[in-house]
Amino acid sequence: MKVTLKIKSENTVESVQHEVEEIDLFQFQKALGVIKDVFEMTQKDESLKGLFAELFNEDDSDSDEGDARFLSHAVGAFEVLLINIPHKAFELLSATSGIKLETLMSQKVNDVFDIYDAVIEVNDLEKLIGRAKKSLAVTKAKMSFMKIAKKATGAAMASPLA
C-alpha cells in the first residue's frame, strides 16, 4: 500500500511515494526489540505497573477510590507515558513501515495515521501472531519429545541389562 511522505529540504518540500509492505525478518526483529524495551520500561516503573493494574482491574466496588488510585498512578507515570512510550510507538511504526524514524517524525500527524493504517492493513497482525504461536508450540512439543527421548536413551544405556 502506498503512502505519501513529505520530505523537507531547505525551502522545498518533496512528495515521495513509499510502499508499505508486509514486514520482513529485519523489521520483525526491530519491532520485537522495541516491544521488549516497552515491556522492560513498564516492569521498572512502579507507577506504570500500578496504572496497568488499575486499567485491567475488574473490581469496581468503590469507583471513587479506584479513580483516585488510577489518577495517582497516571500522575506518577506521566513522564514515561507522555515521553518514552510515544517515542517507542514511533520507533515501532518506523520499524514496521520501513520508514526511517527521522523521516517519520517529520511527517504531519494525519499522514502518520495514514502510515499506521497502511501497516495494519498490509500486515495481518492477528494471523502473524497466530502463526508465531503455532510455530512456538510445535518447537516446544519437539523439544519436550527430545528431552524424553534423551532421558530414555540415557536410562537404557545406564541399565546393566542393556
pLDDT in tens, 108-159: 999 999 999 999 999 887 787 788 888 888 888 888 877 787 777 776 666 5
- The pTM of this model reads 0.67
Label residue 1 by pLDDT band (50, 70, 90): very high
Q: Which three cell numbers stand for residue 38?
A: 516497552
Q: How far does the chain reach from its first CA to its final CA, in angstroms?
A: 64
Give the position of cell 515521553. Answer: 83
Q: Find out whether 104 and 31 touch, Cβ atoms under 8 Å.
A: no
**Eight-state DSSP code of residue 160:** T
